[in-house]
Amino acid sequence: MSYVEIDPQQYGVDISLTYATDNNFTGQPVYKHAHCFLHEDAAAHLARAVELAGCLGHRMLIYDALRPSEAQWALWNHTPDPDFLSDPRRGSPHSRGVAVDLTLLDESGTPLDMGTDFDAFTPHSHHGSDGVSQIAQRNRHLLLGIMSTAGWDFYMNEWWHYQLFDPRRYPLVEDGELSKSMME
């Protein structure tokens, strides 16, 4: 399979995989090892987004990328909310290696105000929410513009989630198929 590990130096991104920590909605690490993988097609689109963000003086911070199917089950078993999580029986774009959760950083490395935290499962996380400040709305539109220009599709309920178009054409990925385990 064609999955690449996203190296922060090579791709010019910051990586903080939230599910490798206990600072996520489950309250415990989901990944044992914080490896950031994407399908090579998604990695190429990420590189373009990073270039576009850089032209505007921003960096990107990745919260999640490829999520093995085992991890999708762990999240779903904790919070089976189809408004914010894909049912693992259908498969998530993350579990296909073609989705990324991220935000923009300013020149000092501080995340831009997006109005909610990553994985805030509330209507305020939706694109176009009028429950967040104008600054947060502008920042979300900036991220949306960068990602759309780089060839990504978005998910209406999560300002942080972007995926390749037609993600189901990519197969689901189990942890054992990766060059480095995330789960064991």
Facing residues of 74 across strands? Answer: none
Angstrom CA distances, 32 to 17, 71, 82, 117, 181, stand at: 11, 10, 25, 23, 8
Of the residues 40, 51, 158, 174, only one is catalytic, namely 158
5 is catalytic: no
Cα distance between residue 11 and residue 22, in whole Å: 26
Question: Contacts from 80-83 at CB under 8 Å and sequence distance 24+?
Answer: 81/121, 83/121, 83/157
Task: Give 61's strand partners.
Answer: 14, 103
Which amino acid is present at 140? R
User: How many other C-beta atoms lie within 10 A of the C-beta of residue 137?
Assistant: 19
The set of catalytic residues is 158
